[in-house]
Amino acid sequence: MFPRARQIASKAVHIESGLATPSIHISRTIKPITRLQHSQTQPVSNTITYGNPHQISIPAKRTRSPIRFGGNAAIQPNLQTDNTVIGPSARIENGRLVVRFTDGLETAFNMIWLRDHCRCPKCYHTVTKQRLVDTFSIPRDIRPSTIHVENTEHVVINWNHDNHTSTFPLSWLREHSYAPKLAAPRVTRQKKLWGAELIENLPVTNYEDVMGGDEGLAQWLYCLDVYGFGIVDGCPPTPEDTEKLIQRISFIRRTHYGDFWDFTADLEHGDTAYTTMALPAHTDNTYFTDPAGLQVFHMLSNTCQGGKSLYVDGFHIASQLSSQNPWAHHALSTIRTPAHAAGDKTQIIQPNPSTFPLLNLDPTTHELYQVRYNNDDRSILSNLSPKEIELYYDALREWIRLVRAPENELWMQLVPGRVVAMDNWRVLHGRSSFGVGIRRVAGAYVGNDDWKSRMRVVLDRSDARERI
């Protein structure tokens, strides 16, 4: 049993928000509403003290890191040099609302942003979490007629063009500040990179636990999020029970292979997966615009020799590549290649856009979020220049060298009763060839957005919902 994940499962039902609103203690009454001229600076102060934020009961605690500001920040923090506790205030400066918090830090908000983000029931549906305000009815030069801080907890704004009132909790404004950002970056569970050594401590969850309640499901989802890989042992070796297990996460994604699979090496589809051939490590659906997020396999029966399953942590390979050959990592994250699926006579599948990098980085954080690698499904490279082609093949050679390094390969023989799920945006999979006999495998895809949504609901709960 995987002890770390088991520990998480025992705590999963007690998960609370890790970014909860701090406790607030009122020590002074509010000042009267002050009508402002836009050129005036009119702070309104009250005293506020913050309690400790709640912590989410998983290993990666949601703590706040120290606040740092770059030299080009729009508004620099105004720190107190003595121990005097000040109250929060709000003022207009350069056409923006500047909010000052009790620790002396300040941040600014555009007026149109504030009106567009009003959280009153007329402007925002608190149940569906959807905006109701007509953004394009807001004047470009919208200004407040009055602003004040109420009970040291809220900034209240009365708008000049329609006399609408918007009330913003100070904690909400701080959490969503942007000029400069005052809230620490949202902490996600730390990914654990792995290689062949994972065979000694596999992330395993019990079937009855997963089917019996959210504790077991939380453990499975935690393993998938942290390791990109999670095993469920004890599943009855039937298609029906396997399908029900997968549906504990989410509904099954239907593709040209169908929805739920129950197949042997019969070439039912024009794909080498339906043969007895060895399959090198790869991710699936590189020919889709949106590749499946999870892939789940269950060996229902096997009378063949061979056919061991191979798993490689693509994030671990990318990390090694970045350290050993940064140029190759950069090349594989910028050079875009095409892919296709055309083995079935009724299908010609190509993504839109037609090309993607092997390593896909978040354009905001520059962190790796997706590996798209299947050399067998790569299309003709006619979109690259001669120099790009040379660079691509050199970088790909370095990638393959690491993917095929024995210390990075996790080999495992699947057996009836053991269900393996993997993050198809992270973990490469393959198999060795196998001989005569019947090797019956069941499984399915789950959409990336669908399994991640389920994970947020089960593991993060109100924490993720309140940040929207």
pLDDT band for position 468 (cuts 50, 70, 90):
low
- Output the six-digit token pair for 336: 């875009």
Query: Residues in the chain, how many?
Result: 468
| pLDDT grade for 268, boundaries at 50, 70 and 90 | low
How confident is the model at residue 236, as a pLDDT? 98
Q: Which region among 170-184, 252-266, 382-396 has the lowest average model confidence (pLDDT)?
A: 252-266
As a whole number of angstroms, the distance between CA 107 and CA 371 comes to 37
Would you state the pLDDT for residue 263?
Answer: 79
Whether residue 457 contacts residue 249, with contact meaning beta carbons closer than 8 Å, is answered with no
Which of 185, 58, 130, 2 shows the shortest CA–CA distance to 456? Answer: 58
For residue 376, is pLDDT > 90? yes
- Which of 51-65, 198-212, 285-299, 442-456 has the weakest average pLDDT? 51-65
Question: Looking at the predicted structure, is the pLDDT value of residue 5 above 90?
Answer: no
Q: Cα dist. 184→28, 88, 281 in Å?
A: 29, 20, 38
- Picking from 354, 464, 345, 372, the residue whose alpha carbon sits closest to that of residue 56 is 464
Q: CA dihedral in degrees (10, 13, 14, 16; nearest 10)?
A: 130
The answer to whether 71 and 77 have CB atoms below 8 angstroms apart is no
- Exposure of 66 in the CB half-sphere (CA atoms within 13 A): 2
pLDDT digits (tens, 9 = 90+) for 195-240: 999 999 999 999 999 999 999 999 999 999 999 999 999 999 999 9
Please state the domain extents for the chain.
20-175, 196-466
Q: Percent of the chain at pLDDT above 70? A: 78
Has domain 20-175 been given CATH number 3.30.2020.30?
A: yes
* pLDDT reported for residue 274: 64
The pair of structure tokens assigned to 29 is: 């009454």
Per-residue confidence (pLDDT) for residue 456, from 0 to 100: 93
What local confidence, expressed as pLDDT, does residue 267 receive?
53
What pLDDT, on the 0 to 100 scale, is given for residue 409? Answer: 99
The whole-number pLDDT of residue 397 equals 98
- Banded model confidence at residue 189, pLDDT cuts 50, 70, 90: confident
Read off the pLDDT band of 87 (50, 70, 90): confident
- State yes or no: pLDDT of 378 exceeds 90: yes
Q: Is 70 exceeded by the pLDDT of residue 101?
A: yes
Average pLDDT of the chain?
Answer: 83
pLDDT of 67 reads 24
DSSP state of 460: I
Q: In angstroms, rounded to a whole number, what is the distance separating the alpha carbons of residues 217 and 454? A: 10
Name all contacts of 61-64 with Cβ < 8 Å and 24+ positions apart: 61/18, 61/187, 62/18, 62/19, 62/187, 62/463, 63/184, 63/187, 64/183, 64/184
In tens, the pLDDT along 143-187 reads: 999 999 999 999 999 999 899 999 999 999 999 999 999 988 777
Say whether pTM exceeds 0.85.
no
Distance CA 310, CA 369 (A): 21
CB-neighbour burial class of residue 65 (10 A; exposed 0-12, middle 13-18, buried 19+)? exposed
What does the pLDDT read at residue 265? 67
- Distance (Å, rounded) from C-alpha 115 to C-alpha 142? 8
**Cα three-residue angle 248-249-251, rounded to 5 degrees:** 90
pLDDT at 95 over 60: yes
Q: State how far the Cα of 456 lies from the Cα of 188, in Å rounded to an integer.
A: 11
385 CB contacts (<8 Å, ≥6 apart)? none
Q: Which amino acid is it at 338?
A: P
pLDDT value at residue 462? 54
Among 84-93, 216-225, 438-447, whose mean pLDDT is lowest? 84-93
Give the model's pLDDT for residue 192: 98
Tokens of residue 49, six digits: 């003290």
Give the confidence band of 467 by pLDDT, cuts at 50, 70, 90: low
Which residue would you say has higher pLDDT here, 269 or 179? 179
CB 433 within 8 A of CB 310: no
User: Token match 């191979």: residue?
Assistant: 310
What six digits make up the tokens of 146?
């009055």
Residue 70 pLDDT exceeds 60: no
Cβ atoms of residues 250 and 453 within 8 Å? yes
Q: What is the distance between the alpha carbons of residues 342 and 264, in angstroms, rounded to a whole number?
A: 20
Residue 16 has a pLDDT of 32
Q: Which residue has the higher pLDDT, 249 or 468?
A: 249
Mean pLDDT, residues 331-355 taken together:
95
Average pLDDT over residues 445-458: 96
More confident residue, 183 or 97: 97
DSSP code of residue 377:
G
More confident residue, 267 or 86: 86
Q: Which CATH class is domain 196-466?
A: alpha beta
| Per-residue confidence (pLDDT) for residue 7, from 0 to 100 | 47
